[in-house]
Amino acid sequence: MKCAECQWDNPPEKAFCFKCGAFLFKPEAEFRLASIGSRVWATFLDAVMFILTLVIGYLIWFIIIARHGQTPGKQLAKVICIDRNGDTLHFWRMVWREFACQYLLALVTGSLFGWLDYLWALWDKDRQTLHDKMAGTWVVSPHQP
């Protein structure tokens, strides 16, 4: 698939251009793949806020913003989760992605999955973690011209 922005030839199964990071399925979309650093920062913020707000505050915040494809940490790091169509995730899909695909699998596998899950994004061409792959999602940031 040829990128509309940089004209780079990408494999047909890729969602984002390997060269410039543009979203290939919806060229007019105004976002790019989020960097590994911004994803780590969002996860760190989620963990800190989860503890500082005594879980209840975090869950209330999550319930309010999950319909925008974000967790509290993603909101502060200015990244969102999208699906293959470039749409932000709705509430129940975000719940599925965060809790079923990420946390429950980490608990079941004794956190072995947790480490592999996040490390996977380091070598994946679309910077997807394993829970992103399971949920069919990508983490993106607003387009920077």
Q: What is the pLDDT along the chain (145 residues), one digit of tens a residue?
A: 788 888 889 888 788 888 888 888 877 777 888 999 999 999 999 999 989 998 899 999 999 999 999 999 999 999 999 998 899 999 999 999 988 888 777 777 777 777 888 889 999 988 998 889 989 999 999 765 4
**Rounded Cα–Cα distance for residues 30 and 86 (Å):** 10
Say which residues have a Cβ less than 8 Å from residue 42's Cβ, sequence separation at least 6: 71, 73, 74, 76, 77, 79, 139
Please state whether the predicted TM-score (pTM) of the whole model is above 0.85. Answer: no
CA distances from 136 to 11, 39, 49, 58, 96 (A): 18, 17, 26, 24, 11
The torsion angle over the Cα atoms of residues 96, 107, 39 and 37, rounded to 10 degrees, is -170
